[in-house]
C-alpha cells in the first residue's frame, strides 16, 4: 500500500517533470480563485461603506415617508405640502422633528462672473429640522431658519467639499454663488466628515429654504418627508401617525404612503449589495469551472502519455487504488497550487481596488477558506474520471505500449 509520503513524492516528481504544463494548467484555477476572493472582498467593503454612510445620515430614531416606489408611484405637486411637517408635529406626540425635501439631484453651481467650469451638486430644499434629523454639523455660520422658508430667502448652506472647490483660500460666509443662475448668499458651511462616500465620488451638496429651492427648480413637488421619533419605542407610532395625517390631508391623492426606518433601509441595502456580490462572484466562479475542465483535459492527456508507466506499476503489484491515488493527487495538487496563487493575487487585487476606491477591503477568512476548499473539490471532481480511467487500464493492454 502506498503511504502518504510516497504519494506526495511521486506527485511532486511528475509535476516537476512537466513544469510548463503544470503552470499553464494552474492559471485557470488561479484566475477563478483570485476573481472570487477579490469580488467578494471589494463587494463587502463597498457594502460596509454604503451602510456606514447611511448610518451617518440619521439616527435610530430616523424615518421617512414617501410614495410607494415599489408600486411605481412617484411624488407630484399634490402628494405633500410645505405645511405637512408642522401639522404632523403638532398632531402626533410620537414625532419629534420633521422636514420636507424638494430635491434637485444635479444643479449647476458657479461663482459670479466666473470663467471656471460649473460644478454639479445636489440641491436639498428643506426646513430647519433637517440639520437635526440628518445629524449634520456646522463648521461655521448657521443653517436655514423658519424665517428663511417663509420669506423665500436667497440663502444657502454648502458642504465642506463645495466650499473647498469654490473658495479654496477664502471664507465662504457672506459670499455669493449662482445656483441654476440664481444668486444665493452662503450663510453656513457644513463640517467635513472624516471619510465620506460623497467625497469619494466627488458628490457635492447644498441646502436652501424649500420655498426658494422650488422657485429655482420651478416645481412644487416635495419628494419626501423625513423625521425623527421621540424614542425608538415610538418609531412605529410616529410612522403610523404621519401616514394617517397625510392620508387625511391629501385624500384625493391616489398614491400610497409608506414609511421606512433607518434599520429597514440598511437591511435593504445589505440585501441588494449581497445579491450583486453573489451574482458577480458566481460569474467569476465560472473561471474555476473552466480551469477544472482544463485540469481534466491535461490529466486525460497524462493518462495516455503514461500508459506504459501504468502498465509497469500494475505489473509490479500496484493496485487500482494506488493508481487512482496517484493521478487524483496530481489533479488536486494542480488545483491547490492554483488556489494558493489565486488567493495571493485575489487578496492583492482586492487591496489595490479598495485603495483606488478609498474603501476598506473586507477579506473574510471564510471566503478564503471556501475558495481554497472549492479549488480542492474542483481537483477531485475533474480529476476523478482521468484517475478512474488510468486505474481501469488492464496490465496486458498497458504493457503492449512498451
When divided into structural domains, the chain yields a total of: 2
Structural domain includes residue 217: yes
Could you tell me if 272 and 393 lie in one domain? yes
Structural domain includes residue 68: no
Of 228, 255, 282, the last residue of a domain is 255
Structural domain includes residue 350: yes
Could you tell me if 111 and 213 lie in one domain? yes
Could you tell me if 144 and 11 lie in one domain? no
Could you tell me if 38 and 82 lie in one domain? no
Confidence of residue 28 (pLDDT cuts 50, 70, 90): confident
Confidence of residue 209 (pLDDT cuts 50, 70, 90): very high
Grid cell locating 121:
451638486
Grid cell locating 379:
481537483
Of 207, 224, 255, the last residue of a domain is 255
Could you tell me if 216 and 308 lie in one domain? no
Q: What is the mean pLDDT of residues 250-269?
A: 79
More confident position, 126 or 194? 126
Could you tell me if 31 and 9 lie in one domain? yes
Structure pTM?
0.63
Could you tell me if 153 and 300 lie in one domain? no
Structural domain includes residue 260: no
Of the candidates 247, 265, 341, 268, the residue with the CA atom closest to the CA atom of residue 25: 341
The pLDDT of residue 321 is: 78
Confidence of residue 384 (pLDDT cuts 50, 70, 90): confident
Could you tell me if 247 and 119 lie in one domain? yes
- Which range marks the domain in which residue 334 is found? 4-53+268-399
Could you tell me if 205 and 285 lie in one domain? no
Could you tell me if 43 and 95 lie in one domain? no
Could you tell me if 323 and 356 lie in one domain? yes
Of 255, 280, 299, the last residue of a domain is 255
Could you tell me if 110 and 242 lie in one domain? yes
Of the candidates 51, 38, 31, 34, the residue with the CA atom closest to the CA atom of residue 362: 38
Structural domain includes residue 61: no
N-term to C-term CA, the chain: 25
Structural domain includes residue 42: yes
Q: Which residues lie below 8 Å from residue 214, measured CB to CB, with a gap of 6+?
A: 102, 125, 220, 221
Structural domain includes residue 263: no
Q: Residue 42: count other Cβ atoms within 10 Å of its Cβ.
A: 23
130-176 pLDDT, tens digit each: 998 888 889 999 999 999 999 999 999 999 889 988 888 889 999 99
Amino acid at each position: 500500500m502506498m503511504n502518504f509520503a510516497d504519494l506526495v513524492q511521486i506527485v511532486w516528481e511528475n509535476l516537476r517533470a512537466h513544469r510548463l504544463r503544470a503552470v499553464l494548467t494552474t492559471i485557470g484555477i488561479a484566475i477563478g480563485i483570485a476573481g472570487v476572493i477579490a469580488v467578494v472582498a471589494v463587494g463587502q467593503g463597498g457594502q460596509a461603506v454604503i451602510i456606514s454612510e447611511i448610518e451617518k445620515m440619521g439616527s435610530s430614531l430616523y424615518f421617512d415617508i414617501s410614495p410607494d416606489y415599489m408600486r411605481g408611484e412617484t411624488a407630484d405637486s399634490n402628494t405633500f405640502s410645505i405645511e405637512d411637517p408642522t401639522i404632523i408635529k403638532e398632531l402626533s406626540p410620537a414625532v419629534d422633528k420633521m422636514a420636507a425635501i424638494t430635491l434637485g439631484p444635479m444643479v449647476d453651481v458657479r461663482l459670479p462672473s466666473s470663467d471656471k467650469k460649473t460644478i454639479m451638486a445636489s440641491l436639498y430644499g428643506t426646513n430647519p429640522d433637517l440639520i437635526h434629523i440628518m445629524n449634520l454639523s456646522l463648521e461655521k455660520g448657521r443653517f436655514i431658519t423658519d424665517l428663511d422658508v417663509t420669506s423665500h430667502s436667497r440663502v444657502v448652506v454648502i458642504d465642506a467639499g463645495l466650499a473647498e472647490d469654490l473658495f479654496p483660500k477664502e471664507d465662504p460666509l457672506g459670499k455669493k454663488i449662482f445656483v441654476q443662475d440664481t444668486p444665493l448668499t452662503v450663510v453656513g458651511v457644513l463640517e467635513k466628515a472624516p471619510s465620506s462616500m460623497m467625497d469619494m465620488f466627488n458628490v457635492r451638496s447644498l441646502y436652501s429654504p424649500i420655498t426658494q429651492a422650488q422657485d429655482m427648480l420651478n416645481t412644487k413637488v416635495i419628494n419626501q418627508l423625513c423625521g425623527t421619533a421621540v424614542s425608538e419605542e415610538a418609531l412605529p407610532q410616529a410612522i403610523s401617525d404621519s401616514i394617517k395625517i397625510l392620508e387625511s390631508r391629501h385624500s384625493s391623492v391616489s398614491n400610497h404612503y409608506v414609511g421606512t426606518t433607518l434599520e429597514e433601509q440598511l437591511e435593504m441595502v445589505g440585501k441588494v449589495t449581497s445579491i450583486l456580490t453573489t451574482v458577480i462572484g458566481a460569474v467569476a466562479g465560472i473561471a474555476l469551472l473552466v480551469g477544472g475542465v482544463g485540469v481534466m483535459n491535461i490529466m486525460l492527456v497524462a493518462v495516455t502519455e503514461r500508459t506504459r508507466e501504468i502498465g509497469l506499476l500494475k505489473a509490479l503489484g500496484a493496485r487500482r487504488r494506488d493508481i487512482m491515488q496517484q493521478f487524483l493527487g496530481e489533479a488536486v495538487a494542480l488545483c491547490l497550487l492554483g488556489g494558493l496563487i489565486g488567493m495571493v493575487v485575489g487578496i492583492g487585487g482586492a487591496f489595490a481596488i479598495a485603495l483606488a476606491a478609498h474603501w476598506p477591503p473586507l477579506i473574510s477568512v471564510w471566503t478564503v477558506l471556501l475558495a481554497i476548499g472549492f479549488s480542492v473539490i474542483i481537483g477531485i471532481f475533474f480529476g476523478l474520471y482521468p484517475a478512474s480511467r488510468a486505474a481501469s487500464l488492464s496490465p496486458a493492454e498497458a504493457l503492449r505500449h512498451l
